[in-house]
Amino acid sequence: MKTFTIFFRLFYRLAGRKLFFLLSMMFAAAMFEGLGVTMLLPILQKGGAGELENPVTDGISALFEAFNIEYSLVILLLFLILFFLIRSIFLIIHGAYVAKIQADLLVKLRYEIVSKIFKAKYQYLLQKETGYLNNAITVEFQNVSFAFKMFASVLIKTVFSALYLILPLMMNFMVAVLVGIMILPVVLIMRRINRRVIDYSVRTSSQSAGLQSFL
């Protein structure tokens, strides 16, 4: 969670309010996917799977009745298609916006560092390790841009994971708790792997900067 907060603050400083627009696209896509998934249960019920008594199907039935909509298999399928279509539109917008921010981020970082280099005194630059500077411009800024893409991917997967955790809780609390307990070891293993990856990443950047010093 600490690493997530650090990355969120970093990319908020670089991307600004655009990050919140991305979040709104994610939540909108997750909401419509959730609505689409909830349509599956009554569709299975209507298709011959028998009575599936749970708060989800009961809520959908009551909602259709409140708006005087026919509670039939065809109508349910139409809503299912509509919800997933809208969800796809939001995901396309999200993907396009991530690509735009990623490109803008790379241009912004390189422009800022080049501007500062031209403003700096020549003697000051001679006293610094040029390898780190070369590495930042040619490699690390591109990695930052790519890291934003991965961060956006993690965000949207987190939102959808939360969605698929909430739905089972609504239908069967005990089963959802058991699944959560089974997933806990995987989370702990992934945290350990993440620490290793961060350590290797720092070492790689340092070694790359050292090699750039010889150029």
Residue 82 pLDDT greater than 80, yes or no: yes
Band (108; pLDDT cuts 50, 70, 90): confident
Q: What is the pLDDT of residue 174?
A: 73
The ranges assigned to domains in the chain are 2-212
Q: Which amino acid is at 60?
A: I
- Tokens for 31, please give them: 């909401």
pLDDT tens per residue across span 83-99: 999 999 999 999 999 99
Kindly state the average pLDDT of the residues 194-209.
Answer: 73
86 three-class SS? helix
Q: How far apart are alpha carbons 38 and 57 in whole angstroms?
A: 8
Kindly state the average pLDDT of the residues 118-147.
Answer: 75
Kindly state the average pLDDT of the residues 111-138.
Answer: 74
Q: What is the pLDDT of residue 214?
A: 58
- Tokens for 66, please give them: 């409140």
Residue 138 DSSP symbol: I
Q: For residues 155 and 23, is the Cβ–Cβ distance under 8 A?
A: yes
Q: How far apart are alpha carbons 42 and 53 in whole angstroms?
A: 10
Q: What is the pLDDT of residue 65?
A: 83
Band (113; pLDDT cuts 50, 70, 90): confident
Band (166; pLDDT cuts 50, 70, 90): confident
- Tokens for 101, please give them: 């921010």
Angle between helices 73-119 and 2-15 (to 10 degrees): 70
Percentage of the chain exceeding pLDDT 90? 7
Band (50; pLDDT cuts 50, 70, 90): low
Q: Where are the alpha helices (DSSP H) in the chain?
A: 2-15, 18-44, 55-66, 73-119, 122-126, 130-135, 141-171, 173-212
Mean pLDDT: which of 28-42, 80-94, 146-160, 165-179 is highest?
80-94
pTM score, two decimals? 0.72
CA-based nearest residue to 61, from 48, 37, 53:
53
Residue 171 pLDDT greater than 80, yes or no: no
Mean residue pLDDT across the chain: 79
Q: How far apart are alpha carbons 138 and 73 in whole angstroms?
A: 57
Angle between helices 141-171 and 2-15 (to 10 degrees): 120
Flag the least confident range among 29-43, 67-81, 82-96, 117-131: 117-131
Kindly state the average pLDDT of the residues 153-175.
Answer: 77
- Tokens for 215, please give them: 């150029």
Q: What is the pLDDT of residue 86?
A: 94
Q: For residues 97 and 46, is the Cβ–Cβ distance under 8 A?
A: no
